[in-house]
Amino acid sequence: MVSSSFKRPLRIGIDATPLFGQPTGVGAVTKSIVDRVEDSSEIDLTLVLVSWNAKRLLDSSPIVRGRDVRSVRYPARAVHQLWQYFDHPAVTGFDVVHGTNFVVPPGGGASELVTIHDLTAWHMPELVSSYSLAYPKLVDRAIGRGAHIHAVSQAVADEVISTISIEPGRVHVIPNGLDFSPNDLDGQKPKLARAGRKLAGGEYVLCLGTIEPRKDHPGLLKAMRLVWAEQPDIKLVVAGGDGWGVQAYEQAVSDLGLIDDSRIIRMGYVTDDERLSLLAGAECLAYPSLYEGFGLPPLEAMALGTPVVATEIPAVAEVCEDAAVLVPVRDADALAAGILNVLDNGAARFDALGRKRVEAYSWDCSVKQLLTLYHQLADGASRYQERAVHR
């Protein structure tokens, strides 16, 4: 039990909007948090859903069945515009309101916590959707109300402190975690790997993630042309939903003369089971991202004993350390050399290193830290309110 001045469970409102629609990485993170916070006897949890179609979403989604949900029935884009300048509509009656995806609803005097997954919208606005361009203003407004920041890595925390006007003491590093450990899947890995190779139709390099500019799919295609010069039979599986980088991806396929290349398997969005199978069966995971705030696919790959070849950006280097092959950003030659190194030398070295590395990342541990933070924030707000009453 976390030490707290409260004699009752804390009333926590968590923005569950990322749980709805096609699941994303942020949606998976939010679900992992919600599932574990809900299990705590210290917490009285309410999910907050911001959507004009809230009723339809709630009626059609099994993920919220049996859970306490409060809906803010506004079009999400419109309410985000409002929240850049006003603290209305607010969600009230909570000790802490937690926004899990850059946006925290005004808490009407409650403590507020906003999760920042990366600073793409700040550093590289040309690489984000128009929807995400509002994040900097929304975060600034929340900080002005006294919100604290939850950073998913030390790399993100360092960027927040250097980029956003906020005291370092209000920035808290609590990393993402894994829902499984290598030991959990040891007996299943051969079956998963066979399923992955069946999906791909042979041996393959896996690229996993939404097709968007910062994932640099065109750079990977350039690298794979070099890989195919030496390993002509290896396939490339591109798994992930279509984002705002599809046009650039398709242009790269055309420019590189790969339109009719049967070695490229573009799978689109994959289920959780397919994702695990593809990760387990891959010869390696290629992760050529230009920028990340964490790096969950490399962590999942390492847990499954699959080698990782990734760009040496701060967050990914923090997660992987020496358990992956790290190469410079936008360097197709180095990326190809890293992939060929893994293909030629096998995965045995990476299995042991990956197992050791993933021990540092557990959702159970991370949510314990998050519960402690909720109590600290609620206690701080309670003491502030008591002082205000006695003035």
- Among candidates 184, 181, 176, which has minimal Cα distance to 31? 176
With beta carbons less than 8 A apart as the criterion, state whether 385 and 119 touch: no
CB atoms within 10 A of CB 273: 10
Same domain, 49 and 128: yes
Same domain, 194 and 327: yes
Rounded-to-integer distance, Cα 353 and Cα 256, Å: 35
Quote the tokens at residue 135: 């994040």
Same domain, 320 and 201: yes
Partnered with residue 49 across adjacent β-strands are 71
Rounded-to-integer distance, Cα 365 and Cα 87, Å: 33
Rounded-to-integer distance, Cα 354 and Cα 382, Å: 43
Rounded-to-integer distance, Cα 205 and Cα 233, Å: 11
End-to-end Cα separation, the chain, in angstroms = 33
Same domain, 375 and 315: no
Residue 5 lies in a domain: no
- Among candidates 146, 139, 166, 121, which has minimal Cα distance to 293? 121
Residue 217 lies in a domain: yes
Residue 134 lies in a domain: yes
Rounded-to-integer distance, Cα 16 and Cα 30, Å: 7
Establish how many alpha carbons lie within 13 A of residue 137's alpha carbon, considering only the half-sphere containing its beta carbon.
Answer: 13
42 Cβ neighbours under 8 A, 6+ residues apart:
1, 2, 4, 9, 10, 371, 375
Residue 281 is inside which H or E element, if any? helix 272-281
84 φ, ψ to 5°? -70, -20
CB atoms within 10 A of CB 66: 7
Rounded-to-integer distance, Cα 137 and Cα 155, Å: 21
Quote the tokens at residue 182: 């290598």
- Among candidates 330, 98, 93, 71, which has minimal Cα distance to 221? 330
Residue 223 pLDDT: 98
Same domain, 173 and 190: no
Residue 198 lies in a domain: yes
CA angle, 167 then 146 then 41, to 5°: 105
Quote the tokens at residue 361: 């990342």
The rounded Cα 326 to chain-centroid distance in angstroms is 20
Rounded-to-integer distance, Cα 212 and Cα 201, Å: 25
Coil vs helix vs strand at 239: strand
Residue 268 lies in a domain: yes
Same domain, 51 and 67: yes
Amino acid at 276: L
Residue 390 pLDDT: 38
Strands 204-208 and 235-239: parallel
Same domain, 353 and 369: no
Residue 136 lies in a domain: yes
Domain of 343, CATH number, reads 3.40.50.2000
Q: Which position has the token pair 């179609």?
A: 53
Residue 4 lies in a domain: no
Domain hosting residue 291, numbered range: 182-358
Helix axes of 348-358 and 296-303: crossing angle, nearest 10 degrees: 120
Rounded-to-integer distance, Cα 188 and Cα 183, Å: 10
With beta carbons less than 8 A apart as the criterion, state whether 12 and 384 touch: no
Q: Is 355 exposed, middle or buried (0-12, 13-18, 19+ CB in 10 A)?
A: middle
Residue 19 pLDDT: 85
Residue 1 lies in a domain: no
Residue 343 pLDDT: 94
The stretches of 181-216 forming alpha helices (DSSP H) are 182-185, 189-200
Q: What is the DSSP string of 310-361?
A: EE--HHHHHHHGGGSEEE-TT-HHHHHHHHHHHHHH-SHHHHHHHHHHHTT-
Residue 34 pLDDT: 94
* Total domains, the chain: 2
Below-70 pLDDT ranges, the chain: 1-5, 23, 54, 59-60, 381-391
Same domain, 97 and 169: yes
Coil vs helix vs strand at 248: helix
